């Protein structure tokens, strides 16, 4: 009987398509990678130690990509809520993505929190997420890319307090201690504002504004204090 030469191609069996792992393993991989921030290498080790599974990094990536689709509908709803919000808070921090420096952005409103990884720290990330929406108030630190996205801007006092705490450790300038006390009063007002009468809140706000004006115009030779004043 003569030999037949040439390629013979058969259809891929259904069992060979998709992933061999079930939804619970997908959930464990998603949890460890996102909430516990395990690298792919550490995730490999965790699966090997916990379950005796030897999974390639490519296999883990496919699992995460498969799980990603489960979150798209909720993410779209969160972004839609963000684009309707009147007050939005935002921040960004450095993160490594596939070995490269990148940034993890977080946007928050009363009804949603949106996380966005991006290769840039530029304002283009904000413009893309907001898609033309301008809220009444934008809350952030003093980074320039966070400015100009709303009708009014509220500087994040938590960021300012952190800068003041660092400056106090590095300097003995009295102006910084005054600003630290002012921030403590501002935080106390924010904590108790729902229990105070409107007239009391107004009076405390006026007092805070007067004392802050005095702090911002006070003379100082400390570079750190000057930076915070500016």
- Average pLDDT of 172-181? 91
Question: Within a 13 Å sphere around the CA of 12, how many CA atoms are in the beta-carbon half?
Answer: 5
Q: What is the pTM of this model?
A: 0.73
How much is the mean pLDDT over the chain? 91
- 18: which DSSP letter? S
Position 70 scores a pLDDT of 86
Minimal CA–CA distance to 172: which of 226, 219, 222, 212?
A: 222
Average pLDDT value for residue range 214-220: 91
The predicted-structure confidence for 116-134, as pLDDT tens digits, reads as follows: 999 999 999 999 999 999 9
Minimal CA–CA distance to 156: which of 70, 87, 226, 72? 87
What mean pLDDT do residues 203-222 have?
Answer: 93
Query: Which pLDDT score is estimated for 101?
Result: 93
Out of 14-18, 135-139, 174-178, 212-216, give the one with best mean pLDDT.
135-139
19: pLDDT strictly greater than 80: no
38-49 pLDDT, tens digit each: 988 999 999 999
Per-residue confidence (pLDDT) for residue 132, from 0 to 100: 96
Name beta bridge partners: 138: 88, 153
Cα separation, 16 vs 63, in Å, equals 15
**How does residue 97 score in pLDDT terms, banded at 50, 70 and 90?**
confident
pLDDT band at 166 (very low <50, low <70, confident <90, very high): very high
């Amino acid at each position: 009987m003569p030999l037949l030469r040439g390629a013979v191609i058969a259809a891929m069996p259904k069992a060979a398509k998709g992933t061999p792992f079930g939804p619970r393993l997908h959930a464990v991989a998603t949890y460890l990678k996102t909430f516990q921030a395990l690298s792919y290498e550490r995730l490999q080790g965790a699966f090997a130690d916990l379950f005796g599974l030897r999974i390639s990094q490519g296999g883990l990536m496919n699992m995460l990509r498969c799980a990603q689709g489960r979150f798209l509908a909720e993410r779209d709803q969160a972004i839609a809520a963000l684009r309707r919000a009147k007050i939005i808070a935002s921040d960004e921090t450095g993160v490594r993505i596939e070995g490269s420096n990148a940034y993890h952005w977080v946007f928050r409103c009363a009804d949603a929190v949106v996380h966005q990884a991006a290769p840039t720290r530029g304002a283009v990330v904000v413009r893309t997420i907001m898609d033309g929406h301008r809220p009444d108030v934008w809350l952030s630190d003093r980074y320039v890319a966070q400015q100009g996205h709303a009708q009014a801007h509220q500087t994040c006092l938590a960021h300012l307090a952190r800068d003041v705490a660092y400056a106090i450790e590095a300097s003995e300038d009295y102006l910084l201690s005054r600003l630290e006390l002012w921030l403590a009063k501002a935080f106390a007002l924010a904590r108790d504002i729902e229990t105070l009468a409107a007239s009391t809140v107004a009076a405390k706000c006026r007092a805070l504004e007067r004392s802050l004006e005095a702090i911002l115009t006070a003379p100082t030779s400390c570079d750190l204090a000057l930076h915070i004043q500016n």
